[in-house]
């Protein structure tokens, strides 16, 4: 476990979330948490776009944010999410540690249609299944994506600590006994952590504190904005402002005051609920004992007013937005942190 002070950066399609802190024992100490706009077009599906001087623009934004907030640590983690990252769990016979690598490569060649030379392969044991089997989680990350993040680290003149994957980052936070929103988190439960972002919804299922699987749905807050712009024939910027100021799904739900704005939004969120249900269904059909107890929402779009109740009714289970985690310690001087925005960055600092 790293006990160094670290900068952890989640470069989203619309916002870059930067957390400075360190991991100690079972806590993550947070010293700074800041979010800035992602410069237009610099990130698509987790990939950095370097055309037209964008690498420099992205670097400048991060440098400015770090310097304005007097963050001077050297070690940096980037945490990313992309549909081109492949994660699979496999059950493999237990072998000696030095034989693991070649067995994993063999497994990948059997089941995944990818050219191994173009991927960085990482794996970790999720669970020992009896005497002779292990459940292994394999992640295959395109080398091209990792190299682009490395070039940004170089441009920033920082030291690379690691490159994490958002679903791995969040599952580390849900692997420990703690209070979530001031209530005990039951480690016997199966929870779905749902990151509602700008262009992606990332669903990560964690059972008894162990990562089970994750899926990305290509949908998010920008679809709401685009649909508002189309309905009201206004610019995307005006539509975004309207969404932030006025959207409220509980108004639509109550039947009173149902208006064009919330009807537009509700149509889309209803489709999201349907997609989320399909992912749950897939998980449940994999094993007769699989079930999901509750959903925790985070990410910017989890702030859409009324979305927890709306989704709870649509998928028929408890849905909460993550507001506090007792495993996090905030430095005195930073005041309140809107945690739901920073959980990928925070989880990535936890090096379990
Ligand atoms: N109060 C709010 N109501 C509705 N939407 C909101 C609110 N606050 C933020 N959002 C939306 O949250 C999104 C940004 O969230 P977030 O920072 O999690 O996305 P991202 O990480 O940049 O995107 P992605 O993970 O998809 O790459 C934007 O679409 C923004 O409009
Ligand atoms: Mg995001």
What is the 3-class SS of the chain, one letter each residue? CCCCCEEEEEECCCEEEEEEEEEECCEEEEEEEEEEECCCCCEECCEECCHHHHHHHHHHHHHHHHHHCCCCCCEEEEEECCCCCEEEEEEEECCCHHHHHHHHHHHHHHHCCCCHHHEEEEEEEEEEECCCEEEEEEEEEEHHHHHHHHHHHHHCCCEEEEEEEHHHHHHHHCCCCCEECCEECCCCCEEEEEEECCCCEEEEEEECCEEEEEEEECCCHHHHHHHHHHHHCCCHHHHHHHHHHHCEHHHHHCCCCCCHHHHHHHHHHHHHHHHHHHHHHHHHHHCCCCCCCEEEEECHHHHCECHHHHHHHHHCCCEEECCCECCEEECHHHCCCCHHHCHHHHHHHCCC
Lowest mean pLDDT of 57-71, 231-245, 320-334, name the range: 320-334
**242-251 confidence digits (pLDDT tens):** 999 999 999 7
Indicate if 179-324 has the same CATH topology as 86-141: no
Protein residue closest via CA to atom 25 of ligand 1: 197
Q: What is the pLDDT of residue 199?
A: 97
Q: How far, in Å, is the centroid of ligand 2 from the Cα of 252?
A: 26
Measured from the CB, is residue 302 less than 6 Å from ligand 1?
no
> Any idea which fold 6-82+143-177+326-349 has?
Nucleotidyltransferase; domain 5 (3.30.420)
Query: Under CATH, which number does the domain 179-324 receive?
Result: 3.30.420.40
The response to whether residue 303 sits with its C-beta less than 6 Å from ligand 1 reads: yes
Q: What is the pTM of this model?
A: 0.95
CB 197 near ligand 1, within 6 Å: yes
* Pocket perturbation via mutation, ligand 1, pick of 194, 219, 300, 303 by most ligand atoms within 8 A of CB: 300
pLDDT score, position 256? 55
Terminal Cα distance for the chain, rounded: 6
Ligand nearest to the CA of 17: 1
Does any ligand 1 atom lie closer than 6 A to the CB of residue 306? Answer: no
For the chain, which residues make up each domain, given as ranges?
Answer: 6-82+143-177+326-349, 86-141, 179-324
Instruction: Specify the pLDDT at position 1.
Output: 39
Between residues 287 and 242, which one has the greater pLDDT? Answer: 242
pLDDT tens for 174-214 read 998 999 999 999 999 999 999 999 999 999 999 999 999 89
For the domain made up of 86-141, the CATH class stated in words is: alpha beta
Tens-place pLDDT, residues 90-102: 888 888 888 888 8
């Amino acid at each position: 476990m790293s006990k160094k002070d670290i900068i952890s950066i989640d470069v989203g399609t619309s916002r870059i979330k930067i957390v400075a802190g360190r991991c100690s024992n079972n806590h993550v100490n947070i010293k700074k948490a800041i979010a800035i706009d992602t410069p237009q077009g610099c990130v698509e599906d987790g990939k950095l776009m370097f055309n037209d001087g964008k690498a420099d623009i992205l670097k400048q934004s991060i440098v400015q944010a770090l310097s304005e907030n007097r963050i001077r640590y050297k070690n940096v983690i980037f945490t990313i999410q992309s549909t081109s990252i492949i994660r699979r769990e496999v059950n493999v016979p237990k072998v000696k540690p030095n034989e693991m690598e070649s067995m994993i490569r063999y497994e990948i060649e059997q089941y995944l249609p990818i050219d191994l030379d173009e991927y960085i392969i990482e794996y970790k044991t999720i669970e020992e299944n009896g005497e002779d089997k292990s459940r292994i989680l394999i992640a295959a990350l395109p080398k091209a994506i990792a190299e682009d993040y490395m070039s940004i680290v170089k441009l920033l003149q920082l030291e690379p600590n690691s490159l994490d994957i958002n679903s791995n980052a969040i599952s580390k936070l849900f692997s420990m006994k703690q209070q979530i929103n001031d209530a005990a988190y039951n480690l016997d439960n199966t929870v779905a952590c749902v990151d509602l972002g700008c262009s992606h919804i990332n669903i990560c299922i964690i059972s008894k504190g162990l990562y089970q699987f994750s899926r990305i749905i290509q949908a998010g807050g920008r679809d709401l904005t685009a649909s508002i712009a189309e309905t009201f024939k206004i610019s995307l910027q005006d539509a975004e402002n309207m969404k932030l100021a006025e959207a409220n799904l509980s108004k639509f739900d109550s039947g009173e005051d149902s208006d064009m704005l919330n009807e537009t939004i509700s149509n889309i969120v209803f489709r999201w609920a349907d997609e989320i249900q399909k992912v749950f269904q897939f998980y449940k059909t994999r094993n007769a004992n699989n079930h999901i107890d509750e959903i925790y929402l985070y990410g910017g779009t989890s702030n859409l007013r009324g979305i927890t109740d709306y989704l709870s009714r649509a998928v028929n289970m408890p849905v909460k937005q993550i507001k506090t985690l007792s495993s996090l310690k905030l430095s005195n001087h930073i005041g309140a942190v809107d945690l739901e925005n920073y959980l990928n960055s925070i989880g990535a600092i936890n090096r379990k």
